[in-house]
Structure 1
């Protein structure tokens, strides 16, 4: 494909369907009474096609001045849109682009982030009507949620995980049943004793528990993604959503992967420690295949992708857990 990077290497062996032209509409403003600023979105969608599924994409809380907002994650948003998804990205209140300070109980605006995603789903009429050429082309019954890093924490809550604030025992579980599948890149892991001393200071509200997260989820973890500023554990902390989540769960272990997964946050992004067109292409293809097979009964994309990856051990490996009643 002319649009593929010449350096994607062995990842080209993971099957993916043909791509199509896309369009981007931004900023799309969502009325947001009571929110410090209006909710702004970027919508990336195929130019053609009907009954298009939706991806809600939650950005992380990284060091970039721009990418932790609707301005980031083009490598994921554009790829998913080229292959048939309508991708909707908000700028959460925690974004550096806004310069806002969290409030007690909602530090880093962790609670408002999940509220943003629910608001998006509630406002799909407005979104479809605003984006030129999109009205009537979206299948609202097929929604996947994707999150990276702190965006993974946000999406974990929407997929059914529970957060218990260790300071006062307040329990939060903003489960969103309209999201049928999740993909979590470099997700945050268990709270409690697994947090480092610095971690307890950085995220004082954090007490995540995956035992209630039943939604089918693919966790993507870098084997070299070690975060001592947050946890006393190693890279495996980032795939607790797989280890401790019930129901159908899959884990993609990325060989040589740090927290950037080859560059998912942006093209040639400074904060990416593991810049690699090959790694990026692999996680793009695997996550796309997972979402397609979860949203469409009988779709074989995930099965085919896993079969291809099984012969590419230098890129990564898959572990799976079946549903246990």
Structure 2
């Protein structure tokens, strides 16, 4: 990867990297009922910038997850955040006829973002020609992690346990999956009734991915404990890493926003660890000679008071 040295040089000099952001950039979406709104965040300088397409959790929007997005952009990534139809900013009622299909439309949203890269690139002054289109990752939190996992090859099982359509995308080479729900055989009765799409198979989720789980993330959607969120690591093949955060609940310390009211386990140090490890993981996945992932993993392992544990396969 021809990653920019400008951001790194600025950082080593102690100056924060300038990040530019444009929103909403609108992509035409015939048949969706609403055009797709996207936020684009990027470092102001540098070229050969890898891309992260980020899928938000239920009810959120392109305006959320600033602690991750700002950090990734300052580290030299271009971050693309679509607003899905379940976003509170759109106010679509639960009885809307699209509601049962929103899980599928979410996946189409991410594909549409990839198809519209040229439009998104042109939306930010000075960004044109600076993207590294050979290095694209998907990331997401909660429902967004499930959405992102589909582009990495995860499938949804039907009522007979047969994998549904393959919605993976060959343009995507790696992923960061935050609080991704586990297997569907442990759904609560409520989830069984309302979320029939929460029956994943990770057997074909082959690209490299970092899975982040909180060991205090007790979901009402599952009859199991917090280990439910480690299933995507346990049951997927290939190059995977699992970061289990000690004491973390579903917002993993506060990744949804700097002052998000839904954060029940606010912990800036935990968020900072996710920032560092996620960017180092993606750099390692995209650039074979990068040493930041190994250094970050060693630092966590040798910490006298670690915030979590990291395992890889």
Partner of 2:19: 22
RMSD: 1.8
The answer to whether the aligner puts 1:39 opposite 2:45 as a matched pair is: no
Give secondary structure in 1 for the equivalent of 2:22.
strand
Q: Which runs of 5+ in 2 are unaligned?
A: 1-10
Aligned to 1:77, what secondary structure does the other structure show? helix
The corresponding residue for 2:140 is: 147
Alignment map for 1:48-59 (pairs within 5 Å):
48-59=45-56
Per-residue CA deviations over 1:127-158 (Å, capped at 9, x if unaligned) read 11222110011111111111100001101111
**Out of 153, 171, 176, which is 2:169 matched to?**
176
| Residue 208 (str. 1) matches residue 200 (str. 2) | yes
1:265 paired residue number: 256
CA separation in 1, counterparts of 2:98 and 2:34? 19
1:121 equivalent to 2:114? Answer yes
Q: TM-score, normalised by structure 2?
A: 0.91
Quote how far apart the aligned CAs of 1:249 are: 0.8
CA distance in 1 between partners of 2:176 and 2:99 (Å): 24
**8 Å contact from structure 1 (residues 42, 89) kept in 2:** yes
Residue-by-residue CA offset, 1:107-137 (whole Å, 9 max, x unaligned): 2600011111111111111111222110011
Alignment of 1:134-283 (within 5 A): 134-166=127-159, 171-191=164-184, 193-227=185-219, 229-283=220-274
Residues 95/167 of structure 1: CA separation in 2 closer, same or farther (3 Å cut): farther
Contact kept in structure 2, 1:260 and 1:273, CA below 8 Å: yes
Indicate which of 286, 289, 294 corresponds to 1:303.
Answer: 294
The equivalent of 2:308 in structure 1 is 316
1:105 offset after TM fit, Å? 8.5
Alignment correspondent of 1:3: none
Do the aligned partners of 1:105 and 1:205 also contact (CA within 8 Å) in 2? no
| Greater relative contact order (Cα < 8 A, sep 6+) | 1
Aligned-partner Cα distance in 2 for 1:270–1:103: 27
- With structure 1 as the length reference, what TM-score do the two structures score? 0.88
**1:261 CA drift (Å):** 1.3
Q: Distance in 2 between matches of 1:200 and 1:29?
A: 35
Instruction: Quote the offset at 1:172 in angstroms.
Output: 2.8
Cα distance in structure 2, aligned partners of 1:181 and 1:205: 23
Rounded to whole Å, the distance in 2 between the matches of 1:113 and 1:57 is 11
Q: 2:3: which partner in 1?
A: none
Q: Structure 1 residue aligned with 2:123, among 130, 135, 139?
A: 130
Q: Does the Cα contact within 8 Å between 1:153 and 1:187 map onto a contact in 2? A: yes
Structure 1: where are the runs of 5+ without partners? 1-15, 63-67
Partner Cα separation in structure 1 for residue 89 and residue 101 of structure 2? 13
Q: CA deviation at 1:99?
A: 2.1
- Asked whether the 8 Å contact 1:167–1:204 carries over to 2, the reply is no
